[in-house]
A and B are shown apart, each in its own frame.
Chain A
Amino acid sequence: MIGTADFESLLRANERRVLRTAWRILGSLEDAKDASQEVFLRLHKHLAEIDLRTVHSWLYRTTLNVCFDALRRRRPEGELDFEPESQENPAREVDMNDRKRLLERAIRRLPERERAALVLREIEGLETAQVAEILGISEVTVRSQVSMAKSRLRGWLEGLA
């Protein structure tokens, strides 16, 4: 049986990855904070049933479930538009911060499975096998979904030019 101190250390060890994943899936830090809170409350509730050796996978899977539940309750994303952060020189080439903001918004338009595969593989940096285990799909499917997600993103982002 895991104690209070152990739960707190588990929380501290995993809070960053859970909040970051939720942030990338939801695209909003405030929503991500709510989702992270829900994930750790579920962890506390089911702690006795969880194998601590696979707690990372459990946390990623639960984070995705909580985030997608939240997204289904939310309005669908609108059209992708772009306003440069700096208004002083609109003609200048967009910098990395602008690219990141654009990419964040484009990721929010991806289908759920593609978004989950892309975030876990390309942003969280997990191995393809780990992503496959978390999502419950084959590694081939993971590669395919990541590839399709990137292709969609490029199309949308180039369409803004």
Chain B
Amino acid sequence: MKWTDADLDLTLQALSQEDPPDAALAHVRELVLDQTQPRLRWWWAWLAVPALASALWFVWTPAQLAPPPLIANAPPVVDLPVVRAGAPPVRTRSRPSPPAPRLEPVNDGEYVKIATADPNVVILWKLENEGETR
């Protein structure tokens, strides 16, 4: 069999134009996709399991385990006057005390009026027939 350079180049060219059958390509593609796509599905399944567990935990946890609503029971906020540091103290003026009631001798008997060293104190001594009372 004669093989010149031209024969070799021609045969190489003929080989380069020969494509693998479509069935072989489809077979390879199917095998590759079968082995790659399930992995992706399992990957999402692994993510879904903890998400589902978290959701169930929130649904089934007893209400008493939940912390009390602190905000709802908090006392109402009272508006307190703002006191500025260094503000001058408020001076209050004392009212004059009302005049003391004057003691009038009751005219239900005889009394002896005794003056004391204090001009505001007077002793009234009631005179009775049975004896002395004060």
A residues neighboring B (CB under 8 Å): 4, 7-8, 11-12, 15-16, 19-20, 23-24, 29, 32-33, 36-37, 40-41, 44, 82, 94, 96, 99-100, 102-104, 118, 122-125, 150, 153-154, 157-158, 160-161
Instruction: Among A41, A104, A122, point to the contact of B32 (Cβ < 8 A).
Output: A41
Shortest beta-carbon distance, A4 to chain B, in Å?
A: 6
Contact in complex: B2, A19 (CB < 8 Å):
no
Contact in complex: B15, A100 (CB < 8 Å):
yes
Instruction: Among B5, B12, B36, point to the contact of A44 (Cβ < 8 A).
Output: B36
Shortest beta-carbon distance, A42 to chain B, in Å?
A: 10
Contact in complex: A4, B1 (CB < 8 Å):
no
Contact in complex: A24, B15 (CB < 8 Å):
yes
Contact in complex: A15, B12 (CB < 8 Å):
no
| B102: Cβ under 8 A from any A Cβ | no
Instruction: Among B5, B15, B25, point to the contact of A104 (Cβ < 8 A).
Output: B15
B residues neighboring A (CB under 8 Å): 1-3, 5, 7-12, 14-16, 18-21, 24-25, 27-29, 31-33, 35-37, 40
Q: Say whether, besides A4-B40, A104-B15, A123-B15, A154 and B3 are in contact (CB < 8 Å).
A: yes
Chain A residues near B25 (CB, 8 Å)? Answer: 15-16, 19
Contact in complex: B31, A20 (CB < 8 Å):
no
Instruction: Among A11, A94, A102, point to the contact of B29 (Cβ < 8 A).
Output: A11
Within the assembled complex, what's the spacing in Å between the Cα atoms of A50 and B40?
Answer: 19
